[in-house]
Amino acid sequence: MKKLFFLLMTLLALTLSASAQNRTVKGIVISGDDEEPVVGASVTVVGTQLGANTDLDGKFVIANVPQSAKSLRVSYVGMTSQEVPITNGEIRIVLGLNSELLDEVVVTALGISRSEKSLGYSATTQEKTSTSSHL
């Protein structure tokens, strides 16, 4: 009976110590241009396969993040990706616009985005116009 009790206590201690090594990371991703939440941004823990997407309020929660993890990688189409350190409390991440990333995207009739080179049929393209004037 004592051996069974000792075995159960050992398993409980190991379980508690293993869970103490992990943490939950929370944060919010916003756009730097208008301070609005970024919906659907990808947030991953660098060096792991852990990650989450932001919700309608731009918030994310990633559970069971190892203590050894030091940073997050945040990306969203049309915005500059960032790598930010993991800190205590809610992490506030500001992404800036990157219009160069949207240069080669074509939207098909079904709303599926594809690279222009990967389309097997003709696609209508629009000429780029410059908004700057030369004096």
Stretch 64-76: mean pLDDT, rounded? 95
Put residue 128 in one of left, alpha, beta given phi > 0 → left and psi -120 to 50 → alpha.
beta
What's the pLDDT at 115? 60
DSSP reduced 3-state for 15: helix
Using the predicted structure, report yes or no on whether residue 132 has a pLDDT greater than 70: no
22-119: CATH superfamily: Carboxypeptidase-like, regulatory domain (2.60.40.1120)
Using the predicted structure, report yes or no on whether residue 60 has a pLDDT greater than 90: yes
Average pLDDT of the residues of the chain: 79
pLDDT tens column, 36-56: 999 999 999 999 999 999 999
> CA–CA separation, 62 vs 50, rounded Å?
7
Find the Cα–Cα–Cα–Cα dihedral 29, 38, 113, 52, rounded to 10°.
50
Segments making up each domain of the chain, as ranges: 22-119
Exposure on the CB side of residue 75, measured as CA atoms within 13 A: 8
